Every structure is written in structure tokens, then in C-alpha cells.
Chains A and B, each alone.
Chain A
Amino acid sequence: MDTREVKAIIEALLFAAETPLKSEKLSEILGLERGMITALLRELVQESESAGHGFLLCSVAEGYQYRSRPEYAEWIRRLGHHRPFRFSRAALETLAIIAYRQPVTRAEIEYLRGVESGAVVKTLMEKRLVKILGKKEIAGRPLIYGTTRDFLEFFGLRDLSGLPTLRDFSELAPDALEGMLPLADEDSSVAPIETTE
């Protein structure tokens, strides 16, 4: 099996896969070293970028996936096959809070938004963008929420570090908050998470 063939097989696998394929998975299937696979994947990504096709090989949700080029979105919409999920403002706000503050309890979400948010969280869970990560080891053991792999895939993010940076207080207004209450930012009291995946 020469390199060219391996690359072709990887392409075929990515083409047929339903979800982004991780390099581990590819190396397991092909019986080849991960380092080699990663290098080949990188080559494939570069090639797809320069090839000028209507699709790209992208690194999303810690894996690799072929996706249409964003600039051709309008044409694909004309197919009429896809129904985009329309977010309400409440849903986006809640999703943003969960994404940036995870693991986060519903009470924390509601404190930040100032409104009851149970229904929105439920909607996001139904859309599989948000999941229950476990329970927080505090009184009442409230559920803690976080984003899913589908969330990364949905927004085309490689991992959570790819989230757009959240504007800081300091950017909103310099120095003015000096001496104000420190924000209970880190949820250091979070219990070890029973991952549900």
C-alpha cells in the first residue's frame, strides 16, 4: 500500500462516514501509525483547500469531515433539502452561556440571564446541542450541563478552544470594575463528571 493509496482510502472512509472521523479511528481501521495518518490528513486538508472543489476537508469536532464550501451555501439552499434550525434569542443566549461556562447548572444560567430557562435548555437538549454532564456536588446535587459533539459539528468547531473569544469586562470598560466584587468565575467545586458519552 503506497501513500497515494492510503490517502485514497482515507478519502473514501471520510466520504462514507456519517460523523467526523478521528485520526485514531482511521489508524485503527488502516492498521497504520497515527502519526502517519495525521500527516496524511493534513496533506488532504491542504489539497482540498487548493483543489478548488465545491467541498472542503475540515477539521471539526476533533475529527475530519468533508463539508460544502460556505460560499456555495446559497446554491445548496436552492435544493430545498435542508431545514436549518432557527435559534430564538433565548436559545442562543442560553447556548452561549452553556458553551462558555460549562459545566454549568440551570440555576447559574438563570442567574446570568435573569429569567427562567428550563424550557430553553430542554429545547437545546432535544436538538442535541447540549447534554447533561453529571451532577454538581453541592446541596441538592443539581444537574450540570455542557455542550455536545454535535454542538462542535454544528458550528464547525474543532474543539471548545475554537469558540470565539468572549469579550472581557475590561474590554467593555477599562478599570471601572476594579474593586468590584470578584466574579465567581471558576466552578472549582464541580464534581468529577460522569461522562454520558
Chain B
Amino acid sequence: MSCEISIDKFEGPLDLLLHLIRKEEMDIYEIEIAQITRQYLDFIDAMQSLNLDIAGEYLVMAATLLQIKSRMLLPVHEEEILEEEELDPRAELIRRLLEYQRYKDAALTFAALPQLDRDIFLATPQVAEVGNEEGPELEPVSLYALVEAFRDLLKKAPKDFVHEVTAEHLSVTERIQTILNLLQQRPQLPFSELVPVPLVRSEVVVMFLAMLELVKMSLIKIYQNQRCHEIWLAPAVSMDDETVAVREESFGYA
């Protein structure tokens, strides 16, 4: 069973449990421990698959749930019922959940109370001096607030965020053919005419390699009038119907 990670903020394992219970429309007093435990563990797995460190508190709760689950599987002896004050292994957990729910609600009530410098103002704004740091308020946030922020970002990001990078196919053979074709029309060729303007490094490299290959194959000659000047290419053989039957791989550039 897969577990959707809710975008809700979870303030802790109790908060998460309350969320799961609500999501499953369970009666808090009749928690289906097996089901809730599975969902809880699914959630933790999902968090782990996101490479998030699970706070220790969550693992403690996982252990607690498993313990309750196993205790619920054990038969209860009658004499134990008399002795044990706490009949239901879930009682402690339920009590904690309810207690937490109370303060969660209270927190909402607090948020709604009129607050100084938000709803009510004084002639001398003294609360402002309490928070007198510059910039936005920075508060410690939980890991889950971060997850939420991260997921929000992902949502906003355009779907095709990844663009495909294809290797540009640069063929030395092709350049060799280009050079040979050009030399059929002209007796001489400056290297600068072979490369695009503006210069593209990879083009220059491939063209230069093609030139060297042609020299090696003794099909052309190259020369310079002066050091660091234009390289001139000229055919070393008759260029009529010259074709080169070379395969790209034979150069070893692939």
C-alpha cells in the first residue's frame, strides 16, 4: 500500500499520527493499530526514500506503535485484567494524542487572538523593539516544513525541468569530404575559410583534425607563409573524382 506524503506540516510523530487517523476517518478511541502502524511506517519509508533523515522521535513512535500492536495480539489472561490498571495497550497513546490535539487547537486559538503590532497597536510601539532585527523573521523550522517548502518548489517548477543534452555529432570524415570538395573547385584554400565565424571551438578542432588526417593520407599539403599566419591547404594529388573511403571509426575519434 502506498503512502501519499501529505504536504501538511507535521510538527512531530503525534501530529503525523493525528493526521493519519483523520485521513483514515478513524475514531481516535478505536485506533486500528495495525492499519495506522502500517501507514506510519510507509510514511517513514517514503521520507527515507527522499533521503531525509528521520528524526529520532519518529523512530521512537514507530517502536511504540509496534509494541502496542504486538501487545494487542497477545491473549490477555483474566487475572491480568484484574491486576492491570490499564486494560487497553492503546490507552497511553490515545491519551497523548488527545492531549496533543488540545494544545494544537489552543495554538490555533492563540493565533486568532488579537496580537500586538498585528491587530492592536500602541502609541509607543514597544513590541516592535522586541523583534528589532532587520529583515524577515527567522525561525527554526522543522524538517517537515523544509520538505513542504521543497515540494512546493517542485510543484512550481515547470514540468520539463530537465532538458535533454544530446552529444553533437562531429564527424571528421564529413570534414575531410568538405575539404576535398572545396579543393576540387579551388587550387588553394585558407584554413580560416573552413571554420565558421564566429569561431566554435569544437568546429575548429574537428576541421583541424580533418586537415591533419588528409596530410597523413598524403592527399593534401599544407603550408604557411610565415609563422603564426594563415595555413594554406593545397591538393597533393589530382583532385578529380577523389573520394575518400574512410570510416569514422578508423580515426579513433569516435
Q: Is the CB of A81 within 8 A of B125?
A: yes
Q: Does A140 contact B (CB under 8 A)?
A: no
Within 8 A of A (CB), among B95-129: 95-96, 98-111, 113-128
Q: Does B94 contact A (CB under 8 A)?
A: yes
Partner of A91, one of B106, B117, B125, B139: B139
Q: Which residue of A lies closest to B124 (CB)?
A: A18
Given contacts A100-B106, A115-B11, are A120 and B121 in contact (CB under 8 A)?
A: no
Question: Can you spell out 18 A-B residue pairs with CB atoms less than 8 angstroms apart?
Answer: A67-B121, A67-B122, A81-B125, A81-B128, A83-B117, A85-B115, A89-B9, A91-B139, A93-B106, A100-B103, A114-B13, A115-B57, A153-B116, A155-B115, A156-B114, A173-B28, A180-B94, A183-B99
Q: Does B12 contact A (CB under 8 A)?
A: yes
Q: Is the CB of B106 within 8 A of A156?
A: no
Q: Is the CB of A96 within 8 A of B114?
A: no
Q: Is the CB of A83 within 8 A of B128?
A: yes
Given contacts A84-B118, A114-B14, A164-B113, are A93 and B91 in contact (CB under 8 A)?
A: no
Q: Does A76 contact B (CB under 8 A)?
A: yes
Least Cβ distance of B57 to chain A in Å? 5
A residues near B (Cβ < 8 Å) are 15, 18-19, 55, 65-68, 70, 73, 76, 81-93, 95-97, 99-100, 111-116, 119-120, 123, 127-128, 150, 153-156, 164, 166-167, 169, 172-173, 176-177, 179-181, 183
A96 to B109, CA, bound (A): 9
Partner of B100, one of A18, A88, A89, A112: A112
Q: Does B231 contact A (CB under 8 A)?
A: no
Least Cβ distance of A48 to chain B in Å? 14
Within 8 A of A (CB), among B72-111: 85-88, 91-92, 94-96, 98-111
Least Cβ distance of B61 to chain A in Å? 7
Q: Is the CB of A113 within 8 A of B131?
A: no
Partner of B13, one of A66, A96, A115: A115
Least Cβ distance of B59 to chain A in Å? 12
Q: Is the CB of A82 within 8 A of B29?
A: no
Q: Is the CB of A173 within 8 A of B128?
A: no
Q: Does B228 contact A (CB under 8 A)?
A: no
Partner of B121, one of A82, A111, A166: A82
B122 surroundings in chain A (CB, below 8 A): 65-68
- 12 other A-B residue contacts (CB within 8 Å) besides A84-B115, A89-B9: A18-B126, A68-B120, A81-B125, A92-B107, A96-B110, A112-B96, A115-B11, A115-B57, A116-B57, A154-B127, A173-B98, A181-B85
A177 surroundings in chain B (CB, below 8 A): 29, 94-95, 98
B98 surroundings in chain A (CB, below 8 A): 169, 172-173, 177
